[in-house]
Every structure is written in structure tokens, then in C-alpha cells.
Structure 1
Amino acid sequence: MWRSELCETETGKLTAAKAFLLDAAMLLHRYGTPSHRLERVMCKVASSLGIESVFLYTPTALVISMKDADEETTVVRRVDSGEVHVDKLFRADEVLERLERKEISIEQAKDQLQQIDQSAPPYPFVVYAAACAASCAALAVLFHGSLVELVAALLIGLCVAGIERVQSGLGRQRSLLQPVAGFVAAVVSLAIARFIVPLDDRLVTLAGLIVLIPGLSLTVALTELAVGHLSAGVARLAGALVSLMTLFLGVAIAWRFAPNWRVLPEHPADTPVWWQWIALIVVPIAFAIVFQARMAQWPVIVAVAMLGILVSRSVLPYYGVEVASFAAALAVGCGSNLYARLRNRPALIALTPAMIVLVPGAFGYRSLSALLDHQTIEGVEFGFHTVLIAMCLVGGLLTSNAVVPPKRIL
């Protein structure tokens, strides 16, 4: 719910412009804006209002210092970073741009941001759940799973979406979502392997949990560290690692709960090659829905995501996964920035759903899985590859900003 987040005594001390800046910053953080982008865009808006400002944002704290002709005011707020919401970020960016150009007043901008914050999601829960299930099924195909494993991952994706809906409805802390979802995903995959049909339960569990694996948060955290936002980067990195470990905690408990349920197929089957191409198209659309991007934004999201995937697959056989990750991120970043320049839209619209296909969250999961099985060397190797690939992605994104400078900050 939209509110100024200020008590009445504090509201009286702030001008309308300062109160608006605080509210706008809270809204942008609520929809997953990285710290380096939030701080830059809010300083630009404040400058257009004649206010000298400094914004310091981490996933758990927002510190704002605002100075006008009258006085300097510093406000500290405890915040919780939300999930990326592409549609609301897009609409909020439009409002802030119109305010900068003096096309609307502060009060009008405040009312429009209030309407954006209170607006319903662009898709009903049924569509969201279907997108989660489709992304899990498509990832099972990309992991070279069989038809049976595809169907099992789809079922687990629906279960994870249902758990998320129940948790949200009960108002419980989101930290409970990861271990519960991990436990359910692992138990369901093991039960299918034991009582219905043999399958690779670990592949199915990984694919079924792909929506919750914090690979994107890890990449954003390393980006923040690379551009000098150390407090935000460290906080986000710690949060991503804890989320991954609590997610895997539920999986590990399930594996100890039913150790004899694992039944692997005698002759593992792979899906046809043309299924891979269908999955490559389905994945970006599914994640576009998960990130609440409207249908009008799907073509550019699919185009940028496919560009990154094609570049990665073209480079991989010749130069290895590190160079392929760098090149793919460079292509995605250049494509997103080009779209932002041509259409005067935030690059995050295309960048976020496209990057989720490239982020190394699966390697982090496999690292913990190997360590649990006492395969220390393999676990350390997977963990190292997780960090290495994430840094390659960050390097590609930063290079893309130099090759095709973004027109917009978001």
C-alpha cells in the first residue's frame, strides 16, 4: 500500500518535494531497482526539483540527505528490497521523466505513483503459476532432461508457485519460502522416481526450483561491488548466499528424509534437439511474465534473450564458458541499451528477463549438492565457476555500457 512512510511529526518538517523524493525512492527499491541505478535516478530527479541530495541505498537501509534553500534534512529508513517488477518500474520511470520535464506537478506525480503502486498485477495468479511451471519445464529441457523429467519439473513449478501464494496470503516472512519450497520440490521428485517412474530427481529438483535460485541477485550484487557500491553489494551478496543455502537446506532435509527413494532410469533419455529451441523461446517469455512485464514488451525481451543465448552457444565451443558468458552479457547489455536509446525506455525492461537465462545460479546449487555428498573438490569447483561466471557477466554488462551508452538510468 502506498504511504509516505513518515510519521506526522516528520512530515511537518519536510517540504512536499522532499517528501515526494523519499516516497519515490521507497517505491523504486520496492520493485527491485539496483542501488547504483536507484541512487543515480533519484539524484537526477532531486536536481530537477532544485534540491541537492545524496542517496545511499542497500537492500535493508535507505539514507537520504536533502538540501534546499531553507535547510538540510537527513532521513534514515529501514527497507526490504522487493522482487523485480518490470511493469511498475517502467510506469514509475515515465512519471519521474515527466516530472523532470516539468510536464506535471509534484502532487500529480505523487498521485500517479500512488495509482501505480496500488494497481493490480498485469497477470492473474493462474497465468503467473503457469509461467513458473513453463520456465521450470523449459529449464529441464535445457538441462537435457527427458520428457518424464520435463513433466515432473512442470509439476514442481506449480507446487512452488502455490507455496509462494499461500505464504504471501498468510503474511509470513519470505525467508520461510525457500526451505519449504526446497523440501517440497525434493520430496515430490523423489516420490515420482520411487512410486511412479524412475528419473533423475536432482535434475528435476534443480529445474523445479530455478525461479527461486538467487542467481540474478548474485550477479546484481557483484555489479554493485564492481561499480563501487560496496555496502549495497556486500549486503545483497550475503542475502543471495543465505537464500541459496536456506533453499538447499530444505532439499538436504528431504534427501535425508527419504534416502532410499532415489531411483535413476537405467537408460537415461534425452529430449530431441528441436525441443531445445522451443525451450529457448519459452524461457524468456515465462520469465517476462514472472517479472510482470506486459505483452507489448515480450518481443524485445525475447529478441534480447535469444541474442544472448545464440552468442553464448556460438562462442562456447571455441573459447569456453567464461568467454561465452562475457560475450553473452555484452550482447544482452548492448541490445538492452540500444532498445532504451531507440524507444526511450528503461534498459531494465529487456535486461532483467534476458539475464536470468544466463546467471549461474544452477552452479551454486550444484556446488552445495556436491559438498553435501562429500565431493569436496567438485563442490569447490562448482562454487568457483559460480563466482567466475558471475564476474564474467558483470564484466560484459559494464563493457556494454561503454560500447552502447544507455540513454536512461533505469
Structure 2
Amino acid sequence: MDTFEFIQIRKFIVKLGKMLHKYGTPAFRLEAYLTEVATYLGVRASFIATPTSITFVIWSDKHEDEYHHAARLQPGEMDMNSLSLTDELANELLSGKRTLAEADKRLSEIDVMPSPYGKVITGCAFGLATAAFAMLMGASWSEIFWSGLLGLVAYIWNLWSLRSKRVALMLEPMTSFAAGLLACAISRYFEPGINIPLIVLSSVIVLVPGLALLMGLSELSSRNMVSGTARVMDALMQLFKLYFGAFLGVAAGFSLFGENLYRPAESLPFWATWLAVFLLCFALVAIFRTRLKHIPWALTSAFIAYGTTAWSSEYLDQGLGTFVGAFALGIFANMFTRIANQPSTIVAMHGLIVLVPGSKTYIGLNSFISGKDFVNAEHVGQEVFLIFMSLVAGLIFANVVVPTKKAL
């Protein structure tokens, strides 16, 4: 291998690593995938990834050439469209269908590619996701409507954060503050007796870092200690900021509009739960930027995860039921990898979002601080811990039974 070829290879690996990090790839998957690519390209490499940085060390077989690179990066966000296209590009390069120069040019094109769904559809998806979550939590039809409306307000804050660094730093507390204040105004002028805390939680559920907590625990279980600890602590800080903003918004709302006396509404029919799962995962298609050809797989993964968990919970404890659901989801995601030759993350995330107890973490924090429950949830702290552990264990067992063919 001459020096020019080595330079081309290490440039491609560095750009590939930064892009996969940008798309929210966990550290242990990112490091394993880059190692596979480096091996195929004929170089030796070592990588250290955290939520905010990547360190690359790349060298030739006999150390004729060696390269070190450290990059400070922002935490990535889920972008299944770009992740899928990047993986396809890597496959084409490794199979000889593209040269390194062509692959490098294509990577640059993927990097600047906008969401395939646009801002309008994504905004509607925010509103649909928040309304579907409220339905899943057993809210009344009016509370579902208001949750969806406040979800659109959360999306406006999200768009503003993309243009302003100051807003981006305060996105979580300002969004939940606005939701709390508006929910109190709604209870004063439009709908007395609504469940304000539930509406606030539903309206910011897209920002609740339940998935980040699960990824951090998964990294810790794979002994990526630095990355796992950093991701867990970052998720906890996001959760604290969301709760503080909501607490402040509701307190300000009660001062301005008077306190709200909650009146429980009639329970929704049984079929509403399954409808909520479908609508929530359908909305996540635009939020996660899932490609059109992967939508049936993504929706199926959600129903497999939720249905298996609901069925097994009739015979087992809830935590063990979640283990069975995560196990079934992991097997399905790994089968998807074998059939479609795409990363399992593309479909697994839709199923995990139904199982991850991010909302229960928020509810537990509210119960711990205020001493009040706005939904019927006993021993919520124990449940959250057990469910998280069951999810991690279920995915690990699934990888043992049906090994994935891809590191992603």
C-alpha cells in the first residue's frame, strides 16, 4: 500500500465515522463497524467513541504510515434515512462497485441531504406522536387533542433551536415551560378539569431521553464505560431540565390562571391502545426519517415488541414481559438485517420507543419531588430500573440466538 492510497483510505474512514456519529450510532456499534470497514480496506485501526468525540488511530500493516485524529462533535440525532444510505454506500465500496473517490463524494452528498419528509410533515408527526402517546397513557379525547396541539408548539421550539444556539441550549426547559403555561391557560379558558401534568408530559415526550438512557445502559453493558456513563448522565440532565421547565411553567400558570381541579374522564376503549401504538410509530417514521421502503418493517417491529410484551405480561411480571418483548424485537431486527442487508437499528428503534420507560422515569421524578402521582403508577422507580435491565438483557440474548451480520 503506497502513501497516497493510505491517505485516501484514512480520509474516507474519518468522514464515515463522523457521519455515523452524527446519525446517533451508539459507541460500541460505531467502533465495531469502523473496525470492519478498516479491515476490508486493508488497514489496521483503533477507535474510541463517546457521545461528544471520536478518536481515530489508523496505520498500515507494517506501520509504514500512521495517522491520529481526534474530533470534538455534538451528540448525534436519529436519522435512519442517512444511516441507511451511508451503509449502502459502504457496501458498494467494499464490493468494488464504487471507488474511494466516488464513495467520498457520495458521503458529502448524503451529509447535506435534508429530511425526505420536509418541515410540514415532520411538524404534523410531532403533533401526532404526542397525541398518540396521550392516548397510550389513557387520556381523554379532549386531552389527546390538546396534547397534539402542544406537540406542534414543541416542534416550533425545535425548529427555532436549529437557528439559534441560545435556544438550543435551553430547548428542553423552555419547551416544557411553554407546555406547562399553555396547559394551565387551556384549563382556565377552554377545558376545566384536564390532567395538566399528563398533557405536559405528552407534549414533550419526543424530547424525553428514554432512548438515550437505554443506549447508555447498552454501552455500559458492552463495557464502553466512558461513552455509556456520559450518555446516561446527559440523558439524566435532559430529564431534569424537562421536569424543571414543566414544574416552573405549571407553577407560573397556576399563579396567572388559578389552580386546576382535575376531574378523571371516562376510560378509552381497548382498541385505542393498539391504535395509539400504530399512530405513535407511524409518526416516528418522519421524526426518525425512516426510508419509505422500511416503513412496513418499522411498523411491524413496533407491533411485535408491544404485542409480545402485552401477551407475556399476562403470565409473567411486567419486567420479565418486557424482556420477552425486547428478545422478540431483537430477533426480528436481526432477521431484517439478514434479509434487507441494512442496519438492524433502522427497525429496532421503532420497537424500542414503545418499550422504553422514558415516560415512567419522568413520572417517577415527579412523584419523588411532589409526592403526587398524575397517573396510576405504584413502585414506578423499581419498575423503571427492572424494565431498563430487561430491555438490555433481551437484546443481548437476541444477538446470541440470532447473531446480526452487521455491527450497526
TM-score, length-scaled by structure 2: 0.93
The answer for the alignment partner of 1:397 in structure 2 is: 395
Superposed, which structure 2 residues align to 1:269-280 within 5 Å?
A: 269-280=266-277
Q: Does 1:66 align with 2:93?
A: no
| Cα offsets for 1:198-252 (capped at 9, x unmatched) | 2001111111111000000000100000011111100101110011111111011
Give the letter for the 1:207 counterpart: S
Structure 1 residue 386: deviation in Å?
A: 2.1
Aligned partner of residue 83 in structure 2, secondary structure? helix
The answer for the alignment partner of 1:254 in structure 2 is: 249
Q: Does 1:152 align with 2:146?
A: yes
Distance in 2, matches of 1:380 and 1:232, equals 32
CA RMSD of aligned residues (A): 2.1
The answer for the alignment partner of 1:231 in structure 2 is: 226
The answer for the alignment partner of 2:203 in structure 1 is: 208
Of 15, 36, 42 in structure 2, the residue corresponding to residue 23 of structure 1 is: 15
The answer for the alignment partner of 1:103 in structure 2 is: 97
Aligned partner of residue 395 in structure 2, secondary structure? helix
Superposed, which structure 2 residues align to 1:10-409 within 5 Å?
A: 15-68=7-60, 69=62, 70-172=64-166, 174-197=168-191, 198-259=193-254, 261-374=258-371, 381-409=379-407
Where structure 1 has 5 or more consecutive residues not aligned to the other structure, the ranges are: 1-11
Structure-2 change in CA distance of 1:384 and 1:267 (3 Å): closer
Give the letter for the 1:383 counterpart: G
The answer to whether the Cα contact below 8 Å between 2:180 and 2:253 also exists between their aligned partners in 1 is: no
Structure-2 change in CA distance of 1:64 and 1:165 (3 Å): same
| Cα offsets for 1:300-348 (capped at 9, x unmatched) | 1111110111011112232121011111111111111111111211111
The answer to whether the Cα contact below 8 Å between 1:221 and 1:232 also exists between their aligned partners in 2 is: yes
The answer to whether the Cα contact below 8 Å between 1:305 and 1:353 also exists between their aligned partners in 2 is: yes
Greater shift, 309-318 or 239-248, is seen at 309-318
Structure 1 residue 187: deviation in Å?
A: 1.3
Distance in 2, matches of 1:200 and 1:336, equals 37
Give the letter for the 2:80 counterpart: V
How many percent identity over aligned positions? 28
Distance in 2, matches of 1:233 and 1:282, equals 31
The answer to whether the Cα contact below 8 Å between 1:370 and 1:379 also exists between their aligned partners in 2 is: no
Structure 1 residue 366: deviation in Å?
A: 0.8
Structure 1 residue 375: deviation in Å?
A: 5.9
The answer to whether the Cα contact below 8 Å between 1:369 and 1:379 also exists between their aligned partners in 2 is: no
Give the letter for the 2:407 counterpart: I
| Cα offsets for 1:123-174 (capped at 9, x unmatched) | 1111001111111111111111001100011011100001101121234463
Structure 1 residue 360: deviation in Å?
A: 0.9
Distance in 1, matches of 2:208 and 2:30, equals 24
The answer to whether the Cα contact below 8 Å between 1:30 and 1:80 also exists between their aligned partners in 2 is: yes
Distance in 2, matches of 1:230 and 1:64, equals 18
Aligned partner of residue 228 in structure 1, secondary structure? coil
Aligned partner of residue 316 in structure 2, secondary structure? helix
The answer for the alignment partner of 1:3 in structure 2 is: none
Number of aligned pairs?
399
Structure 1 residue 398: deviation in Å?
A: 0.8
The answer to whether the Cα contact below 8 Å between 1:34 and 1:220 also exists between their aligned partners in 2 is: yes
Aligned partner of residue 109 in structure 1, secondary structure? helix
Distance in 2, matches of 1:51 and 1:170, equals 41
Distance in 1, matches of 2:94 and 2:228, equals 29
The answer to whether the Cα contact below 8 Å between 1:92 and 1:113 also exists between their aligned partners in 2 is: yes
Aligned partner of residue 45 in structure 2, secondary structure? strand
Where structure 2 has 5 or more consecutive residues not aligned to the other structure, the ranges are: none
Structure-2 change in CA distance of 1:102 and 1:240 (3 Å): same
Give the letter for the 1:382 counterpart: V
